């Protein structure tokens, strides 16, 4: 695994939050700010860091309530607006004013909020299997598992549980890949059990009406005009429809590209050949316009 340093920052409401910092980009190129999905964490971007670190600097935060970041006192702060405020504080602490946002699912919603409020920060953007319209089928599926505690005796048992729940999303995965995913999603607790590595209360805002993004994000798509952008969509996605992705492409303008990752659901892990090639093209456009 590629080496990194651990960093910490304080949220506006006083939580100690964690990020991984993979060195790179000493030639002045903007860092990649990697924003994970709802139940994911900084480890989700290990495959991307293995491929790009050194050439690019990657900053991979654990959102509040995930992995090594502190849990929120109020679960109603587990919402995109608060996450974006946390990220703004991190960027200020690191004196970063321009970056490429790599946003998976929830991380993509945060990227859209950044585009709406600080468009000038974005040297480029990747929206991974997320858009202004989220399909009800996908939201309903997510609600069935988010916040449901799991405990396993071994990593293999955790991997098998992941396979059983997600084989329709990643139908080509073998045990080694399920194990790798388990080690990004779970942790060992003090009793030696393998448990999910996030605060189960992140599910509470999802039970409220409008608990996904909370605002109409379609008007934000125009903010990406002129910014090198990539929309990634899993071919089997139940959260981002093909029609929504096409409309996003139209509204984001000629600086955007749409790539569909075959035989993958929500969400691509960014190490698929089609995703990797799309990311490489995006980064070339960031560097050369």
Ordered per-residue pLDDT tens for the chain, 289 residues: 899 999 999 999 999 999 999 999 989 999 999 999 999 999 999 999 999 999 999 999 999 999 999 999 999 999 999 999 999 999 999 999 999 999 999 999 999 999 999 999 999 999 999 999 999 999 999 988 898 888 999 999 999 999 999 999 999 999 999 999 999 999 999 999 999 999 999 999 987 755 455 578 999 999 999 999 999 999 999 999 999 999 999 999 999 999 999 999 999 999 999 999 999 999 999 999 7
Q: Is residue 195 part of a domain?
A: no
Q: What is the CATH number of the domain that holds 210?
A: 3.40.50.1820
Q: If DSSP codes are grouped into helix, strand and coil, which group holds residue 61?
A: strand
> What global pTM score does this model have?
0.96
170 domain-assigned: no
Q: What is the pLDDT of residue 211?
A: 45
Domain count for the chain, please give it: 1
Asked if residue 229 belongs to a domain, the reply is yes
Instruction: Write the CB contacts of 187 (distance below 8 Å, at least 6 apart in sequence).
Output: 67, 194, 195, 196, 197
Query: Phi and psi for 102 in degrees, rounded to 5?
Result: -115, 100
**C-alpha angle with apex 58: 227 to 241, nearest 5 degrees?**
50
With respect to residue 76, please indicate whether it lies within any of the assigned structural domains: yes
On whether residue 57 sits in a domain, the answer given is: yes
In a domain, 182, yes or no: no
- Contact (CB, 8 A) for 21 and 59: yes
* Mean pLDDT estimate for the chain: 95
> Whose structure tokens read 């492409």?
249
Domain that holds residue 46: 5-144+204-288
Whether residue 43 is contained in a domain is answered as: yes
């Amino acid at each position: 695994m590629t080496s990194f340093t651990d960093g910490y920052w304080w949220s506006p409401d006083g939580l100690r939050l964690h990020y991984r910092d993979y060195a790179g980009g000493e030639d002045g190129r903007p860092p990649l700010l990697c924003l994970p999905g709802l139940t994911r964490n900084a480890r989700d971007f290990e495959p991307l860091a293995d491929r790009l670190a050194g050439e690019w600097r990657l900053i991979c935060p654990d959102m509040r309530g995930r992995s090594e970041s502190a849990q929120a006192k109020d679960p109603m702060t587990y919402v995109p607006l608060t996450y974006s405020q946390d990220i703004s504080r991190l960027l200020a602490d690191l004196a970063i004013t321009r970056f490429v946002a790599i946003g998976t699912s929830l991380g993509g919603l945060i990227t859209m909020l950044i585009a709406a409020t600080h468009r000038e920060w974005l040297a480029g953007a990747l929206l991974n299997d997320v858009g202004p319209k989220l399909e009800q089928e996908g939201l309903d599926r997510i609600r069935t598992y988010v916040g449901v505690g799991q405990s396993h005796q071994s990593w293999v048992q955790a991997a098998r549980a992941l396979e059983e729940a997600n084989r329709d999303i990643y139908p080509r995965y073998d045990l080694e890949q399920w194990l790798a995913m388990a080690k990004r999603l779970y942790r060992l607790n003090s009793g030696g059990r393998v448990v999910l590595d996030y605060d189960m209360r992140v599910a509470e805002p999802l039970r409220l009406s409008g608990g996904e993004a909370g605002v109409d994000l379609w008007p934000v798509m125009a903010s990406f005009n002129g910014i090198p952008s990539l929309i990634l969509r899993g071919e089997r996605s139940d959260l981002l429809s093909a029609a929504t992705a096409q409309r996003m492409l139209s509204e984001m303008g000629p600086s955007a590209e749409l790539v569909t990752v075959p035989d993958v659901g929500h969400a691509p892990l960014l190490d698929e050949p089609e995703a990797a090639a799309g990311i490489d093209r995006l980064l070339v456009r960031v560097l050369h316009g």
